[in-house]
């Protein structure tokens, strides 16, 4: 099988490339990535001789078309992915998440190539903190931020191309991932690298907001299950019953790194900050037989902390710039 992996130099995409080479020797991997601030060739350095890497924009039809033509499946991770950035400048989010997905859809339509579109639980908006409900495949779309609105738009384009043009696509909407190779602008790696630098972790607002954490390897195994056995045209929710509020996560990072639990500071809240995400993973479990292999958040987080300790050369060049950007926002 020839797989075209968009965004394969980013966090989840790079992990997907590594897992695919390890678990699926039958798959020939091509990565298409624009290498924005979020992408890094270093994340693929140890497998560089086992993949084809193309630097390019998914919105560029001339780049995309020949790559899609020679692929059996496109696994579409490429996106602008950070909510805070989308509040500062939504423009690249529209370009990549909407126009880029449109270009891929037109190419898979022309060539009859299978597409799996990676999306987020944020398309459903948020839940109340005291609400026992979780998101299901039937929850109406209600995105809050420019990021989640463009991801919702990209999902709807995929659904329309399935229905109107018979494109062979599936969609997955996953909760918050953690693990190696995550950009240090994101919550967990930002706090780990702050502590390595002797800086206090930064909690937005009161820190009561809940995220449903899943290890990146469990997300990616679900993606392969959907490619292998998912029903064309269907949406699958991916989550591992990992609800925690942000304060709890910071306190656990502090404990695992040998600090006092209260040794963090409150900073400015995110405008429009979604309260709670939670995934009902019944369909994924019952229809595809998926089970998480990393259900223990504490040990997964400890391994992730170890990875950032051992791979300082990977994140160090980005740290000062990321923190300067947050400092301007009072965060």
Residue 85 or 113 having the CB closest to ligand DAU: 85
187: left (phi over 0), alpha (psi -120 to 50) or beta: alpha
Question: Which of 16, 124, 236, 277 touches ligand DAU (CB under 6 A)?
Answer: 277
245 near ligand DAU, judged by CB under 6 A = no
Question: Which of 2, 24, 41, 82 touches ligand DAU (CB under 6 A)?
Answer: 82
9 near ligand NAD, judged by CB under 6 A = yes
Sign of the alpha-carbon torsion through 254, 257, 260, 263: negative
CA–CA separation, 175 and 214 (whole Å) = 7
Q: How far is the CB of 109 from ligand NAD (least distance, A)?
A: 19
Catalytic residues: 121-122, 147
CA–CA separation, 239 and 134 (whole Å) = 11
CA–CA separation, 36 and 228 (whole Å) = 30
Q: How far is the CB of 186 from ligand NAD (least distance, A)?
A: 7
Question: Which of 17, 20, 39, 188 touches ligand NAD (CB under 6 A)?
Answer: 39
CA–CA separation, 97 and 154 (whole Å) = 6
Q: Across-strand partners of 3? A: 29, 73
Q: How far is the CB of 113 from ligand DAU (least distance, A)?
A: 25
Question: Which of 134, 211, 219, 276 touches ligand DAU (CB under 6 A)?
Answer: 211
Question: Which of 6, 81, 85, 193 touches ligand DAU (CB under 6 A)?
Answer: 81
Question: Which of 176, 193, 281, 304 touches ligand DAU (CB under 6 A)?
Answer: 176
Q: How far is the CB of 88 from ligand NAD (least distance, A)?
A: 15
Question: Which of 113, 175, 235, 281 touches ligand DAU (CB under 6 A)?
Answer: 175
Interaction with ligand NAD in 218-247: which residues (CB under 6 A)? none
Question: Which of 73, 77, 134, 202 touches ligand NAD (CB under 6 A)?
Answer: 77
CA–CA separation, 230 and 172 (whole Å) = 10
Among 13-21, 60-68, 81-89, 95-103, which window interacts with ligand DAU (CB under 6 A)?
Answer: 81-89
Q: Which does 245 bind (CB under 5 to 8 A by kind): ligand NAD, ligand DAU, none?
A: none
Q: Across-strand partners of 245? A: 210
Among 36-44, 101-109, 224-232, 303-311, which window interacts with ligand NAD (CB under 6 A)?
Answer: 36-44
CA–CA separation, 293 and 13 (whole Å) = 19
Q: Which pair of tokens denotes residue 299?
A: 């040990």
Q: Which pair of tokens denotes residue 220?
A: 């990616």
Residue 224 or 277 having the CB closest to ligand DAU: 277
Q: Which does 190 bind (CB under 5 to 8 A by kind): ligand DAU, ligand NAD, none?
A: ligand DAU
Residue 162 or 279 having the CB closest to ligand NAD: 279
What are the residues binding ligand NAD (CB under 6 A)?
Answer: 6-7, 9-13, 33-36, 38-39, 57-59, 77-81, 96, 100, 118, 120, 151, 174, 176-177, 183
What are the residues binding ligand DAU (CB under 6 A)?
Answer: 81-83, 120-122, 175-176, 186-187, 190, 202-204, 209, 211, 246, 270, 277
């Amino acid at each position: 099988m020839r797989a075209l992996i968009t965004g394969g130099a980013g966090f989840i995409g790079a992990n997907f490339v590594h897992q695919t080479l390890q678990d699926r020797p039958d798959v020939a991997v091509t990565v298409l990535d624009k290498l924005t601030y979020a992408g890094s060739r270093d994340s693929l350095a140890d497998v560089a001789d086992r993949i084809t890497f193309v630097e390019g924009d998914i919105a560029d039809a001339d780049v995309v078309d020949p790559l899609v033509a020679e692929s059996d499946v496109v696994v579409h991770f490429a996106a602008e992915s950070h909510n805070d950035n989308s509040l500062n400048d939504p423009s690249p989010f529209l370009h990549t998440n909407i126009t880029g997905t449109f270009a891929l859809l037109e190419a898979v339509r022309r060539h009859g190539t299978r597409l799996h579109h990676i999306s987020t639980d944020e398309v459903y908006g948020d839940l109340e903190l005291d609400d026992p409900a979780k998101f299901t495949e039937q929850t109406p779309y209600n995105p809050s931020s420019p990021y989640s609105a463009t991801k919702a738009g990209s999902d709807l384009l995929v659904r329309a191309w399935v229905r109107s043009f018979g494109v062979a696509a599936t969609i997955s909407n996953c909760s918050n991932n953690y693990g190696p190779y995550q950009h240090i602008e994101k919550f967990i790696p930002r706090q780990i690298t702050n502590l390595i630098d002797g800086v206090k972790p930064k909690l937005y607002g009161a820190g009561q907001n809940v995220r449903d954490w899943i290890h990146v390897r469990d997300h990616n195994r679900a993606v392969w299950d959907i490619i292998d056995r998912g029903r064309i045209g269907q949406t699958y929710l991916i989550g591992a019953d990992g609800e925690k509020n942000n304060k709890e996560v910071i306190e656990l990072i502090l404990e695992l790194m040998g600090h006092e639990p209260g040794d963090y500071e409150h900073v400015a809240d995110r405008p429009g900050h979604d309260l709670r995400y939670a995934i009902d993973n019944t369909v994924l479990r019952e229809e595809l037989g998926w089970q998480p292999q990393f259900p223990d958040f504490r040990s997964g987080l400890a391994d992730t902390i170890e990875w950032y300790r051992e791979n300082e050369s990977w994140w160090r060049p980005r740290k000062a710039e990321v923190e300067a950007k947050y400092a301007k926002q009072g965060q």
